[in-house]
């Protein structure tokens, strides 16, 4: 049986990510927490939440790692959905209704997929 520690930092970080419509970077999380904990603690909590399967990492087109809540991962942990990175506002959004497809040559085995599209999000397209 795996024992997990629930700290105030973990609870607040998980709540922040769960309530966000877009994926959040470490810096964005640290800013929103208003000095609740130090940056190392935030990294540790994010790693723990990823290991527990409640959030997942997204690398945007600029190479910045962002974090989003996991959905529909109770039976099998997967994130083979698209992510959209807005070039203007820098938001990253999970597009779970769009299922990417690809065909690999024989003998290649996929373990993880990270699809990130870039362009303008609906909010930035209106301007």
pLDDT in tens, 46-90: 999 998 888 988 888 788 899 998 765 444 445 567 888 898 988
DSSP-derived secondary structure letter, 117: E
Estimate the crossing angle of helix 8-19 against helix 26-33, to 10 degrees: 110
Output the pTM of the full model.
Answer: 0.72
Supply the pLDDT for residue 98: 78
Domains within the chain, CATH numbers bracketed? 8-125 (1.10.10.10)
Q: Which helix (H) or strand (E) holds 92?
A: strand 92-95
């Amino acid at each position: 049986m795996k024992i997990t520690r629930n700290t105030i930092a973990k609870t607040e970080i998980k709540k922040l990510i769960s309530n966000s419509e877009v994926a959040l970077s470490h810096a964005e999380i640290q800013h929103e927490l208003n000095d609740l904990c130090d940056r190392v603690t935030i990294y540790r909590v994010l790693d723990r939440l990823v290991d527990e399967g409640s959030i997942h990492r997204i690398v945007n087109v600029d190479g910045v790692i962002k974090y989003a809540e996991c959905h529909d991962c109770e039976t099998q942990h997967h994130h083979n959905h698209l992510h959209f990175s807005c070039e203007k506002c820098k938001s990253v959004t999970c597009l779970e209704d769009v299922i990417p497809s690809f065909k690999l040559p024989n003998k290649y085995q996929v373990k993880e997929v990270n699809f990130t599209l870039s362009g303008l999000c609906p909010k930035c397209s209106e301007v």
